[in-house]
């Protein structure tokens, strides 16, 4: 008979401590390297766009908060991300700002020109459109000193032919299948001085809208969603980034880093009482801390559908559930 040997009492705390340290080391390695550098998930949303009459789903693919630079996102990884995004067959390709690394632990920066040269390969039948993020301003000393653009990122986007929508809108599609794509100037462009001095001008962007087709609004920060009013009735969907989904979430809990003024809008889909929707992408890179935990880098996919198709889908799914329950004998006749 084999007897199990027990550790002497004085050695048990050491064993427990060693296991705890090993666990913490593994968690740190995962958060500091594996999740931010090796992971890329797809997050898909289906949005019924009020007032839109498309005959098939219209796919938006979004790259947000790339923050390219060592250690996590070199140029080769940017190229791989673009290939993955193109493989999703977008009808419209979107960049949501914050192109270069911004956290203080970046040991080898990547130039905006090189980054945007890779991003220009992100393509779709209806083009590639961009907005700027706060770090595209904060990392530009000249723009900070002038408190005015254009920023280096804006110039590089223009150089390769990527339209940067700063407080303007363009029409996407034709006839009754068209919608407007509006881009907002950054709401937090300056590190010093009044933070209220944003470059955003929603009324100016909406002045380009000349008919009743719905508006999809690109805004790097999600805060604008809470300011939409009756005058902005055409804005049916707002797409934002900036928050990185909180960047660190323990078991799906509250985000460690919340970059939005409204703590609610940190990741995912939100709908207001007026029927407008906000989708906040978790983005790809890091800021403040060079880590991600529980919020992997993501490519965001939004399939736009007309409201009647969404209602038809709900009815079809309800019928399928009913038939499945009937076949399983889970439906009892009334009075039975």
pLDDT-derived band of residue 197, with 50, 70 and 90 as boundaries? confident
Q: What is the mean pLDDT of the chain?
A: 86
Q: What are the tens digits of pLDDT across the range 243-267?
A: 999 898 887 666 766 655 666 789 9
Question: Which strands form 168-172's sheet, in the order they lie side by side?
Answer: 168-172, 179-183, 215-218, 235-240, 277-280, 268-271
Beta strands in the chain, from DSSP E residues, in sequence order: 41-48, 58-63, 69-70, 92-95, 108-109, 128-130, 168-172, 179-183, 215-218, 235-240, 268-271, 277-280, 298-305
* The dihedral formed by the CA atoms of 293, 291, 123 and 189, expressed in degrees to the nearest 10: 120
Give the architecture-level CATH label for domain 42-325.
Answer: 4-Layer Sandwich (3.60)
Ranges of H-type helices in the chain: 12-29, 35-38, 75-87, 112-119, 134-138, 141-146, 152-159, 202-206, 307-327
- Judge contact between 245 and 267, C-beta under 8 A: yes
d(CA 288, CA 279) in angstroms, rounded, equals: 23
pTM metric for this prediction: 0.86
Q: What are the tens digits of pLDDT across the range 82-118?
A: 999 999 999 999 999 999 987 776 656 578 999 999 9
Structure token pair of residue 124: 């779709």
d(CA 13, CA 24) in angstroms, rounded, equals: 16
Q: What are the tens digits of pLDDT across the range 40-69?
A: 999 999 999 999 999 999 999 999 999 998
Instruction: Please state the separation of Cα 101 from the chain's center in Å.
Output: 16
Beta bridge partners of 320: none
Structure token pair of residue 196: 């209220």
Cα distances from 290 to residues 62, 106, 211, in angstroms, run 22, 8, 45
Crossing angle between the packed helical segments 112-119 and 75-87, to the nearest 10 degrees = 20
By residue count, the chain amounts to: 336
């Amino acid at each position: 008979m084999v007897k199990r040997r027990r550790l002497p009492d004085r050695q048990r705390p050491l064993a427990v401590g060693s296991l705890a340290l090993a666990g913490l080391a593994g968690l740190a390695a995962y958060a500091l390297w594996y999740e931010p550098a090796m992971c890329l998930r797809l997050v898909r949303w289906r949005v019924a766009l009020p007032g839109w009459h498309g005959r098939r789903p219209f796919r938006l693919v979004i790259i947000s908060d790339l923050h390219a630079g060592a250690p996590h996102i070199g140029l080769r990884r940017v190229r791989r991300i673009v290939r993955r995004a193109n493989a999703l067959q977008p009808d419209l390709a979107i960049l949501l700002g914050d192109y270069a690394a911004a956290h203080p632990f970046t040991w080898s920066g990547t130039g905006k020109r090189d980054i945007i040269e890779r991003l220009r390969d992100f393509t779709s039948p209806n083009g590639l459109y961009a907005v700027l993020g706060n770090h595209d301003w904060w990392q530009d000393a000249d723009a900070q000193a002038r408190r005015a653009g254009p920023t280096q990122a804006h110039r590089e986007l223009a150089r390769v032919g990527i339209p940067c929508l700063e407080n303007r809108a363009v029409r996407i599609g034709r006839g009754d299948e068209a919608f407007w794509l509006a881009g907002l100037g950054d709401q937090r462009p300056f590190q010093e001085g009044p933070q209220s001095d944003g470059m955003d001008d929603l009324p100016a962007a909406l002045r380009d809208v000349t008919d009743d087709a719905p508006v999809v609004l690109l805004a790097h920060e999600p805060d604008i969603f809470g300011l939409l009013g009756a005058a902005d009735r055409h804005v049916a969907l707002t797409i934002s980034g900036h928050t990185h989904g909180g960047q660190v979430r323990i078991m799906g809990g509250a985000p460690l880093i919340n970059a939005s003024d409204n703590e609610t809008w940190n990741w995912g889909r939100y709908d207001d009482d007026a029927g407008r929707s906000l989708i906040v992408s978790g983005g790809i890179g890091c800021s403040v801390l060079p880590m991600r935990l529980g919020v992997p880098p993501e490519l965001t996919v939004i399939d736009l559908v007309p409201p009647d198709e969404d209602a038809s889908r709900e009815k079809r799914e309800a019928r399928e559930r009913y038939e499945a329950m009937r076949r399983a004998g889970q439906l009892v006749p009334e009075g039975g």
